[in-house]
Amino acid sequence: MLDVQNLSVEYKIQGGVLRAVDGVSFTLKRAESLGIVGESGCGKSTIAKALLQLLPKNGKISGGHVFFDGDDLVGKSAEEIRKMRQKRIALVSQSAMNSLNPVHTVGKQIIEAIRCHSRMSVKEAYARAVEVFSMVGLEEKRLRSFPHQLSGGMKQRAIIAMALSLEPDIIIADEPTTALDVVVQGRILQRIQKIHKEISSSMIFITHDISVVSEVCETIMVMYGGRVMEIADTDSFFRAPYHPYSLGLQNAFPSITEIGREELVSIPGSPPNLSEPQEGCRFHVRCPFATETCRIQEPPLEKVRDDHYSACWYNDKVESFRREAGKRDTWESVRKRIEEQILREDAHEEIEHEEIKGAGR
């Protein structure tokens, strides 16, 4: 249904461009659910916005195609996209909770949204609103509430109900629960999963918490610095992840079902600055297993099993990587390496500074 090919997105920023998404490809079948994971800033929301042509003024799709039911969305007019958007692709975004209008009841807002995209009478739209409210576990009387009368979790469910009311072909949920407490998050995720099965729409679920994907999605795509590092069938991925970045993420977000696992280990260092040209594998600076090759050449996405691809030069060494990645020392040595590198750069800068001062004298 959705076939994204080589999608690249750039933002114009002061003094240059920032390539937030760089050559990303994936497909989404009808009724399939895809999870996009990765740390903050890796380009997840940018993909969602690009699919819906909701990029801000300084952002543009700089390459690639987005085929939706065979039609390329890239190059379509804003008007054409707007018509299609809510009806066929619905977005539940990171900040959706705040998008409810405080001066109207949620019922009024949802009925208006339904009528805006269909020929339903007010009565029919009301019946539909009741139906989707019950799907997300909200009582009919809540339709008469104003947003401030609802808890955060209820507001988020109302937003999800609004997205569902139009029976979209694709639901894009961009961190739909991050603003909520963990218990409420869990309940909403269960609902989303149930609804997704019931109405058989496809779903793109965006999150930085890898453990959430295992519960909600059939396919997982791991992104880093605007690139796809690994894409796989979720079962295959959680049984046997390949990319060192994925191994690191798994340590940082151990599954809720794996009780008694060792403490969390976050990946030392920070993601690359995407406004600078990238060389080699984007993860090499933070990778415990990186070699000279990784520093110079970018690895292609390579098939490692059926429905499982990983962009690492050393996919064949994954068994030992998995063992090493489970140890705290492995990541500790990365932290030391990064710190030493920073010290060296500082020292280098100081020498240069001295030289400039010397030359000036």
Ligand X SMILES: Nc1ncnc2c1ncn2[C@@H]1O[C@H](COP(=O)(O)OP(=O)(O)OP(=O)(O)O)[C@@H](O)[C@H]1O
Residues that bind Mg ion (CB under 5 A): 44-45
| CB nearer ligand X, residue 179 or residue 199 | 179
CB distance 191 to 136 below 8 Å: yes
160 binds ligand X (CB under 6 A): no
The binder of 43, among ligand X, Mg ion, none, by C-beta within 5 to 8 A per type, is: ligand X
The least distance separating ligand X from the CB of residue 194, rounded to whole angstroms, comes to: 25
Comparing CB distances to Mg ion, the nearer of 20 and 150 is: 20
Shortest CB 12 distance to ligand X, Å = 8
Q: Which stretch binds ligand X (CB under 6 A): 11-19, 238-246, 301-309, 334-342?
A: 11-19
Among 170, 189, 231, 274, binds ligand X (CB under 6 A): 274
Nearer to ligand X, 58 or 190 (CB): 58
Residue whose beta carbon is closest to Mg ion:
45
- Least distance to ligand X, CB of residue 114, Å: 29
17: phi then psi, degrees, rounded to nearest 5:
-125, 155
Interaction between residue 96 and ligand X (CB under 6 A):
no
> Which does residue 56 bind out of Mg ion, ligand X, none, counting CB within 5 to 8 angstroms by kind?
ligand X
The token duo for 17 is 């461009």
| Residue 92 sits in the site that holds ligand X (CB under 6 A) | no
For ligand X, the binding residues in 182-211 under the rule CB under 6 A are 208
At which residue do the structure tokens 């609804």 appear? Answer: 195
How many positions of this chain bind ligand X (CB under 6 A)? Answer: 17
Considering the complex, what minimum distance in angstroms separates the CB of residue 307 from Mg ion?
A: 26
Residue 37 phi, psi dihedral angles, 5° rounding: -125, 160
Q: Does 75 bind ligand X (CB under 6 A)?
A: no
Distance of CA 269 to the CA centre of its chain: 20
Residues whose CB falls within 8 Å of the CB of residue 12, separated by 6 or more in sequence, listed in order: 58, 59, 60
Burial class (CB in 10 A: 0-12, 13-18, 19+), 335: middle
| The two structure tokens encoding residue 273 | 């600055």
Contacts of 276 (CB under 8 A, 6+ apart): none
Residue 125 as a binder of ligand X (CB under 6 A): the answer is no
Q: State which of residues 13, 116, 127, 296 lies at the interface with ligand X (CB under 6 A).
A: 13
* Residue list 30-59, contact with ligand X (CB under 6 A): 38, 40-46, 56, 58-59
Question: Which of left, alpha, beta for 195 (phi over 0: left; psi -120 to 50: alpha)?
Answer: alpha
**DSSP codes joined into one string, 138-199:** --GGGGG--GGGS-HHHHHHHHHHHHHTT--SEEEEESTTTTS-HHHHHHHHHHHHHHHHHH
Smallest separation, CB 29 to ligand X (Å): 24
Least distance between ligand X and beta carbon 247 (Å)? 20
Q: CB count, 10 Å around CB of 138?
A: 22
343/351 Cα distance (integer angstroms): 12
Interatomic CA distance for residues 86 and 162, integer angstroms: 10
Least distance to ligand X, CB of residue 55, Å: 8
Indicate the residue among 20 and 318 with the shorter CB distance to ligand X.
20
Output 45 or 310, the one with its CB closest to Mg ion: 45
Least distance (Å) from ligand X to the CB of residue 48? 8
What contacts 274, CB < 8 A, 6 or more positions away? 18, 19, 20, 41, 225, 226
Q: Which residues bind ligand X (CB under 6 A)?
A: 11, 13, 18, 20, 38, 40-46, 56, 58-59, 208, 274
